[in-house]
Structure 1
Amino acid sequence: MLENLQKEKGWIWILPATLLFIVAFGLQTWTSIGLAFTGFYVYRVILNMGHKIPIIDLMTALAALQWILGPYIDYHNDVTHFKYYMYVPEEQYMAYAVPAIIMFRLGTLFYKDESDLNAIGARVSHLLNSYPRLPYILVAAGLLIPYLNAFIPASLRFVFFLLANVKYVGAIYLLFSPSANRWAIFAGVMSFTALASIASGMFHDLLLWAMLTFTFVARELKLSMGSKLIIAILGMFLAITIQSVKHEYRTFLKNGYGGNKVSLFVGLATEQWSNGRIVNPSSDEDMNARLNQGWIISAVMKNIPEREPYAGGSTITEGITASLLPRFLAPNKKKAGGRDNFMRFTGLPLGENTSMGISLAGEGYANYGRWGGILFMFCWGLFVGWFWKKLSRWSYFYPTLLIWSPILFLQVIKAETEFVVVLNHLIKASVLVFGLLWFIKRQWRVRV
């Protein structure tokens, strides 16, 4: 860990940046540390794009943005949502959230990151020399699978949801190839995702895969730091635009809108830009609430143990059981979704068809309190770092395994999901991915 921490040279700038925030803006110590930490990891993600697969850095940056920056904005503006607001004082909240995310990252530093894209690129090139048709098969299969949903039993839909994501793996393979149509296919896959997101009103896949694939695009285009920064800013505005129109757009769909959905979405986005709500999201209480996941953690801190006792690790045990045991062996095992935990630990009601997660930090506090929750986040960091290290080691047997890692971490990198969701996804996706790699190797004698 000490060796890895020494290589994280940016950490030495967190202290002076913290002091600057305190002196210049009069911020509290934990708030200042949190903002400095957030800025460093956002910068680090952009810096490493094109050189590594920055899964853990991306997890850290997304959590910091939603658990630290979002709450900071909420504490320091005059807009207050009737429900989505910070339930405890800033000093109390930051004294838990900031150490929790720092300890998570420290836990991951016990294991070295070996996701060098140059080495991975050499392995992919060797693979494609042996079987150049593989990327096209993956793209075609991933594009076809969503159309089979109507014929798939509910119990298998999660598996087929994961299988549909192989189109991105195929597109990434193509980026490493000399194929003349590689960029056209990659753009086609991402355009298909954008159109599917607009048609359904669900934009998670588009945003997550845009972030997860950008590091491969940056490598192939050899983007400079300045270019990556500009693209990151544009991506941020895209995410804010989607968030600003999502609720109104879904309302149109719910009411049976039958026109052109792309035109509707673009029209709503244009309207948001013209009235200035996007460039000043803090003036819009709904918009501000969607940018801040810390309000849920603060609601947990307000409700536990005042109205609901600490869970004492029960939801963590349930999450492990639900992830490891199939339902026929544990018919009463916990279901993913977050609704029950949200209402239990925040004390807040939810609509019948609404589901919200309390996040790993919120669940850590609900089970173990402040210090126990911080320790839980450290242990989760240890596990994530160990798992990433194992993926690197298993790459000796499956040379392009890390190309598949975005599927493994698709739900894990999201800051709002709870323990049962992230662990369940990680384990089941791992079983599926290794099963696919075994099948490809056996069927076509290709060491993927």
Structure 2
Amino acid sequence: MKSLLPIFLIVFLAGQLVDTTLPEALAVALSIYTFLTFIASIGETIALLECISFIASLEVLLVPAVTYWIFPASMPIESFIYFSYALPAYLAFYAGINWFINRQSERPHVSYIQAVTTYLQGKQSSSTVLLIIGLLGFIVKVFIPAAPNIVGALPAYCLFVSVFYACYSRSTYRFIRISIAASVLLAYTVWTGMFGDLFFWIMLVTIFIAAGRPDTLTIRLKTIVTIFAFTFLLLIQSIKGEYRYNTWGHQQTERNSNAQLMGELLADRLSNPEKLLNVDHAFLSFVRFNQGIMIGSAMAKVPMHEAYANGDVMLSLIYPFVPRLLWSNKPQTGGYENIRRFTTLPQYENTSINLSPLGEGYVNFGYGGVFFALFYGLLLSGIFQYILHLAKNIPSIILWLPMLYINCLTMETDLLSTWGSLVNNAIFVMLLVWSLKRIGIQL
């Protein structure tokens, strides 16, 4: 954290141009610090937790701070009140998620990559099996949207895990398998108009492929890749609204794909970069990640108009272990009830907004939510460290980390979604490994 002080001083002095406050300057400085930490860790480690830390700072600190500078009327509460909770909550979360990172002295991450490469030699068929399971999962997911996750969404993730198996086993046909996975992901994006999986899987693949290659990843290369990633994100945000407007109806079932329209929109943005690289579009894309609106709205309503939930959020840790078949009224993920109960924000069927785990901490415990944020960070970090522990005996288990954490990368969710995803994905992986082992296929 030594490099945080000069970053803070630079941000604070530059921020005088927009009359920044100390909390706002600290929020921006922390975001820059976590971003630089994330970039530095790429190649040196499996930078999954560093990625989560940066995205959280972006959504909870940086975007709200800049919004207070540019368009403060759009924020539901005053800057000082918001950051009086958001700053300590994020710092607690950051401490929790880095707790085990700072204590993991057993093995450098490059050794896990080397171990899995050795382990998978002679097991090239594993990639083929996972590829087939993944393709079948996508077929179910697309044509039977109401199917349970265990036969649709979860098997579909195996398609991307098969890419890791193909790469690290040095499969002869790995480039064909990569092409198949990329084509399916692109087709699914066009089909649904949902761009999150596309961006996050590209990011996860980049983090894992880079892990263990610090000598080949220069600062210049990382800078180029980072600029490309932000440009790609801007491109997605630029076409997303228009594409959905023309392909989505009022209900979730009223969605159509239009590959021609997607192509036309991409061609239009690339041939007319002024539509992409302008201040108005950049700001609108930027505020799309403003989790401060949800947290601030909750702080404005709770406890003045709605009592604290007094720990209801902790029940989310139990829900994933109870099958929906045995509990028909089991709470749904997606945050609809939290937004309705704890904020005054509108919620529509075709859009999804969420309170975030840090927001849930506040509506349950008030400023005691800071300790909940610490707990949430420890939870994510502890599971990651446990997977590394298991990898001593089962090296290939680290290749399942992207699947386990795919729904934990952003704060635009709730505890039930993130924890439920972790538990359900882990149970699926255990069942899959056990089932395939019974028929002689070792993953």
TM-score exceeds 0.5: yes
**Does 1:373 pair with 2:379?**
no
Cα displacement (A) at 1:117: 4.4
Aligned partner of 1:342 in structure 2 is: 339
Q: Deviations over 1:37-74 (max 9, x none)?
A: 21122222222223322221111111111111211221
Q: Is the CA contact (8 Å cut-off) linking 1:38 and 1:61 kept in structure 2?
A: yes
1:288 and 1:227 map into 2 onto residues whose CA distance is 24
- Asked if 2 retains the 8 angstrom alpha-carbon contact of 1:135 and 1:173, the reply is yes
What is the 5 A alignment of 1:8-157?
11-26=1-16, 27-78=20-71, 85-111=74-100, 112-113=103-104, 116-149=108-141, 154=146, 156-157=148-149
> AA paired with 1:94?
F
Partner Cα separation in structure 2 for residue 425 and residue 90 of structure 1: 33
Between the aligned partners of 2:115 and 2:439, the Cα distance in structure 1 is 20
Q: 2:297 aligns with which of 286, 296, 299?
A: 299
Uncovered stretches (5+) of structure 2, i.e. residues with no partner? none
Whether the aligned pair in 2 keeps the contact of 1:34 and 1:68 (CA below 8 Å) is yes
Structure 2 vs 1, CA of residues 415 and 220 (structure 1 numbering), >3 Å: closer, same or farther? same
SS at structure 2 position matched to 1:305? coil
Code of the residue aligned with 1:166 in structure 2: it is C
Q: Does 1:421 align with 2:417?
A: yes
Higher mean C-alpha displacement, 114-123 vs 91-100? 114-123
Give, in whole Å, the separation in 1 of the partners of 2:313 and 2:193.
31
Counterpart of 2:405 in structure 1 is: 409
Q: Which string of whole-angstrom CA distances, capped at 9 and with x for unpartnered residues, describes residues 372-430 of structure 1?
A: 11111011112222211211111133221111011111111121101111111111111
Which residue of 1 is the match for residue 222 of structure 2?
A: 228
Partner deviation per Cα, 1:231-271 (whole Å, 9 max, x = no partner): 1211111112111221210111126998x933422432444
- Corresponding position of 2:385: 389
Does 2:368 correspond to 1:358? Answer: no
What SS does the aligned partner of 2:383 have? helix
Q: Which position in structure 2 is the counterpart of 1:7?
A: none
Q: In terms of mean alpha carbon deviation, does 249-258 or 344-353 score higher?
A: 249-258
How far apart are the structure 1 equivalents of 2:266 and 2:5?
40
How many corresponding residue pairs?
430
Contact 2:48–2:207 (Cα < 8 Å) also in 1: no
| Per-residue Cα deviation, 1:349-376 (whole angstroms, up to 9, x for no partner) | 3224443211111111111112x11111
Report the TM-score, using the length of structure 2 for normalisation: 0.89
Structure 1, residues 286-337: CA drift from partner, whole Å, max 9, x if none?
54441322211111111111211111111332x1232222224433321112
Does the Cα contact within 8 Å between 1:277 and 1:284 map onto a contact in 2?
Answer: no
Question: Once superposed, what is the RMSD of the aligned Cα atoms?
Answer: 2.6
Q: What do the CA deviations read for 1:134-177 (whole angstroms, capped 9, x no partner)? A: 11221232123211347769462355201111111111122223
- Does 1:237 pair with 2:231? yes
Alignment partners' CA distance in 2, 1:180 and 1:343: 52
Q: Cα gap change, 1:29/1:426 in structure 2, threshold over 3 Å: closer, same or farther?
A: same
Shift of 1:105: 1.6
Contact 1:88/1:302 (<8 A) preserved: yes
Contact 2:43–2:217 (CA<8 Å) still a contact in 1? yes
Among all aligned residue pairs of Structure 1 and Structure 2, give the percentage whose two residues are the same amino acid. 27
CA distance in 1, matches of 2:234, 2:107: 30
Counterparts in 2 of 1:159 and 1:75: CA distance versus 1, 3 Å: farther
In structure 1, what residue type is equivalent to 2:210?
A
